[in-house]
Structure 1
Amino acid sequence: MVCDGSETGKHDLRALHWPAPPRNILFVRKHDDDPVRAALLEYAHHVQTTYPDTNLVVEPDVARDLHTALPFPIYTTVAEGGGRGTKVSYEDKVDLTTTLGGDGTILHAASLFASARYVPPILSFAMGTLGFLGEWKFAEHRRAFAEVYHSRTVPTSNSHPARILIRNRLRIGLFDSSGQSIPLDPSSSAPNTPTFALNEVLLHRGRRPHLTHISILLGARRHALTTAIADGFLASTPTGSTAYSLSAGGSIVHPLVRSLLLTPICPRSLSFRPLVLPANTPVALRIEPSGRGREVEVSVDGVRRAKGLGAGEEVRVMGERAGMVGERWMGGVPSIVRSQGEGGEGEEHWVGGLNGLLKFNYPFGEEG
């Protein structure tokens, strides 16, 4: 995939150009939902019959469910080493990801590439509860896939390449009291690699009755900002600003604003307000021994780490660097924007989501 800003630079979106048409398409669906399952079967049949050179890739559990329901082969991947629960490597096998479900399904799809610098473009169909991140309606799946598939290397005067919104991620690392890196998965024996989050990293007291004590250190010189005494603390991306951070009183930030949000959850001090920092600011969130709780829970994009962090251990966060490396875009999650016709500015979905889904500045007592 090549992202080029020349076609849509005035909108801060990028144009999608394939060096060759995408072949391996990863389908990610919402689980335990019969309408989504039926939609996936219809969608897969359309793609395979209309674009016969494509290979349909699904996760192992989806493959077990669907392999007898489709008249053509589907493919899956096997974890290296065959260990149960071992991460599967998708980044070198997938050209395009498409999701059917809600925002949680998109987060799950992004998590499949959480340790990879390269993430293939994501074409999302909103079939969930809220659907703030989902750009397309499923009724548009034929048009949407055609636009993406035919978004070629050399556009002509009559062609309009698919547009891409790069959703920046957080680079996250865990460290012990001596500064040594520790794995996000405590059971993993693999070398430590950075983890990237699309929404947020959360530190929280969990079921424990005592407030967390978390020191916030900013910059390469680790300037001490404050110690948060609160139920928990969030470091979020602009994409995550409309998720947990918003519920905790954080600012709403447009996904094109390169920034990092720090939001306390139920702080003891009434003067503790959320902060918005430049995305390249190094942030360390260190667990202080002054807290009475033994551990603080850690979650990345809603997935809780099996083992919490103790006193002296910390989470280090910084915005991921994104840009062209050779002929390939590296960093961030390229999200395919729903086309609004020629001259569209790419703001319709975000503004519509704020008004229609989040009821931004919605007066009390009025019907929706």
Structure 2
Amino acid sequence: MVALRCYRDVRRRGSNLIFERHIAEAVHGKLPFPIYTSDAVDVSDRFPEKVDLVSTFGGDGTILRAASLFSYQESVPPILSFSMGTLGFLGEWKFEEYKRAWREVYMSGSDVQVEDLVEPHTQTAVLQGRAGGVAEAKGGLRPGWERVRGKSMGISRTSKVLLRHRLRVGIYDSHGNNIGGKVMPTSADEPDLEPPMRPSRGSQQCLHAINEVSIDRGVHPHLAMIDIYVNNHFLTEAVADGLIISTPTGSTAYSLSAGGPIVHPLVKSMIITPISARSLSFRPLVLPLNTKVVLKLSKRNRGRELPVSIDGKRRAGVGAGMEIRIEGESLVQGAGGVWAGGVPCIIRASGKGEPEGIAEDDDSWVGGLNGLLKFNYPFGEVH
């Protein structure tokens, strides 16, 4: 039903719809138009280049699911999310607004210049050209973004892009080998879901997390003992139920429930949050994005593996001698001026044109704190 309602707004602009295989098998016979899915042989190299825009229909978990499909990739296509779930802190659009959302993306244009993505990270996703004309790009564009460029509808009808940083996660065995490319979700709750796209040959096989990386004691009754290293310096031995390393985006997720701080998504940082630490002096830490964090099992740990999760999905068990190496993902300019990194999320515009300061840029984030998290609401007050 969702695909059918979006069909006219997508297909008439010369675009095709790609579904995950299990969804395609369920709906292809019910739709009056052809749909496409990925091929297992095709996903590692060619498939990401074919995706110009990702659209999600659900809650925050659906957005995490979409981003996880590109967890081995250096770039993620722009994500247009429709909130149809429960909390929906990351979901920007209501499904009833799908016509406006598609119109702003296609007609206003999401061909954001590279320099607009770098500083600041939230910019109006439109390049204003001559009245009624096609916007002209002055800088290099992310591959594929030119497919969604179009006519400008004026300064009050623009979409914006919020670039969310991810964490680069490497899992190393006791011999120092990166086994990240061999680590797959271990959950059996959703056996029909496709795995993330495999890394290309010759890549470093690092995974990426948009929310957090967590390591915990699992079903074992004993506290986990984890050595934490920051920039090759020993920080502390954490004795707790576990640890969370999160992004600013993930600061309102698991980390917040564990007592971590709320961090604005534009702040280039990562957060270390203990889960029920034994010591009351172990407080959450906010570190620069370029910090290198290494987690190892302490020699005093009770001799069993500790489960590791990335964005809520169990990945593997970390045993003695293994390491988890985490660092923030930054925008990188490669050959030919191509930029990679981050998760570009399409958000609604304020309708006031190009924002001059961060205050106007913060409308959706502040609204999420007040409307969804009920930030600083008095006890017993009804709203």
TM-score tier (shorter): 0.7 to 0.9
* 1:198 Cα deviation from its structure 2 partner: 0.3
**Counterpart in 1 of 2:381?**
366
Q: CA 1:256–1:157 in 2, change beyond 3 Å: closer, same or farther?
A: farther
Asked whether the equivalents of residues 95 and 120 of structure 1 are also in contact (C-alpha less than 8 Å), the reply is: yes
**Does residue 277 of the first structure (1) align with residue 287 of the second (2)?**
yes
Q: Take 1:62 and 1:88, find their aligned partners in 2: how far apart are those partners?
A: 22
Paired residue type of 2:75: Y
Secondary structure class of the residue paired with 2:282: coil
Asked whether the equivalents of residues 58 and 75 of structure 1 are also in contact (C-alpha less than 8 Å), the reply is: yes
**Counterpart in 1 of 2:223?**
211
**Counterpart in 2 of 1:155?**
128
Paired residue type of 1:359: K
Asked whether the equivalents of residues 295 and 323 of structure 2 are also in contact (C-alpha less than 8 Å), the reply is: yes
**Counterpart in 2 of 1:168?**
165
Q: CA 1:108–1:186 in 2, change beyond 3 Å: closer, same or farther?
A: closer
**Counterpart in 1 of 2:90?**
133
- Correspondences of 1:20-99 after superposition (within 5 Å): 38-48=1-11, 50-51=12-13, 53-80=14-41, 90-99=47-56
Secondary structure class of the residue paired with 2:272: strand
**Counterpart in 2 of 1:313?**
322
The number of aligned residues is 322
Q: Take 2:214 and 2:227, find their aligned partners in 1: how far apart are those partners?
A: 14
Asked whether the equivalents of residues 90 and 112 of structure 1 are also in contact (C-alpha less than 8 Å), the reply is: no
Deviation sequence 1:68-92 (CA, Å, 0-9, x none): 11111000011118xxxx9796422
Q: CA 1:348–1:290 in 2, change beyond 3 Å: closer, same or farther?
A: same
* 1:143 Cα deviation from its structure 2 partner: 1.4
**Does residue 355 of the first structure (1) align with residue 353 of the second (2)?**
no
Asked whether the equivalents of residues 10 and 16 of structure 2 are also in contact (C-alpha less than 8 Å), the reply is: no
Secondary structure class of the residue paired with 1:337: strand
* 1:112 Cα deviation from its structure 2 partner: 0.8
Of 349, 362, 365, the residue aligned with 1:339 is 349
Secondary structure class of the residue paired with 2:290: coil
**Counterpart in 1 of 2:187?**
none
Of 198, 215, 239, the residue aligned with 2:210 is 198
**Counterpart in 2 of 1:298?**
308
Deviation sequence 1:154-180 (CA, Å, 0-9, x none): 532553453111100000001123322
* 1:185 Cα deviation from its structure 2 partner: 3.5
Moved over 3 A (4+): 86-90, 157-161, 184-192, 323-329
Deviation sequence 1:4-24 (CA, Å, 0-9, x none): xxxxxxxxxxxxxxxxxxxxx
**Counterpart in 1 of 2:179?**
182
Asked whether the equivalents of residues 337 and 346 of structure 1 are also in contact (C-alpha less than 8 Å), the reply is: no
Instruction: Tell me the TM-score normalized by structure 1.
Output: 0.82
Q: CA 1:140–1:186 in 2, change beyond 3 Å: closer, same or farther?
A: closer
* 1:186 Cα deviation from its structure 2 partner: 4.3
Q: CA 1:208–1:117 in 2, change beyond 3 Å: closer, same or farther?
A: same
Bigger mean CA offset, 307-316 vs 257-266: 307-316
Q: CA 1:44–1:255 in 2, change beyond 3 Å: closer, same or farther?
A: same
Q: Take 1:144 and 1:364, find their aligned partners in 2: how far apart are those partners?
A: 36
Q: Take 1:137 and 1:327, find their aligned partners in 2: how far apart are those partners?
A: 35
Q: Take 2:164 and 2:87, find their aligned partners in 1: how far apart are those partners?
A: 19
**Counterpart in 1 of 2:123?**
none
In structure 2, the gaps of 5 or more residues are 112-126, 132-151, 185-197
Secondary structure class of the residue paired with 1:142: helix
In structure 1, the gaps of 5 or more residues are 1-37
Q: CA 1:323–1:178 in 2, change beyond 3 Å: closer, same or farther?
A: closer
Q: Take 1:89 and 1:209, find their aligned partners in 2: how far apart are those partners?
A: 46
Q: Take 2:283 and 2:46, find their aligned partners in 1: how far apart are those partners?
A: 39
Q: Take 1:165 and 1:152, find their aligned partners in 2: how far apart are those partners?
A: 11
The sequence identity of aligned pairs, in percent, is 53
Q: Take 2:378 and 2:92, find their aligned partners in 1: how far apart are those partners?
A: 26
Paired residue type of 2:10: V
**Counterpart in 2 of 1:15?**
none
Secondary structure class of the residue paired with 2:170: strand
* 1:313 Cα deviation from its structure 2 partner: 1.1
Asked whether the equivalents of residues 45 and 70 of structure 1 are also in contact (C-alpha less than 8 Å), the reply is: no
Asked whether the equivalents of residues 303 and 320 of structure 2 are also in contact (C-alpha less than 8 Å), the reply is: no
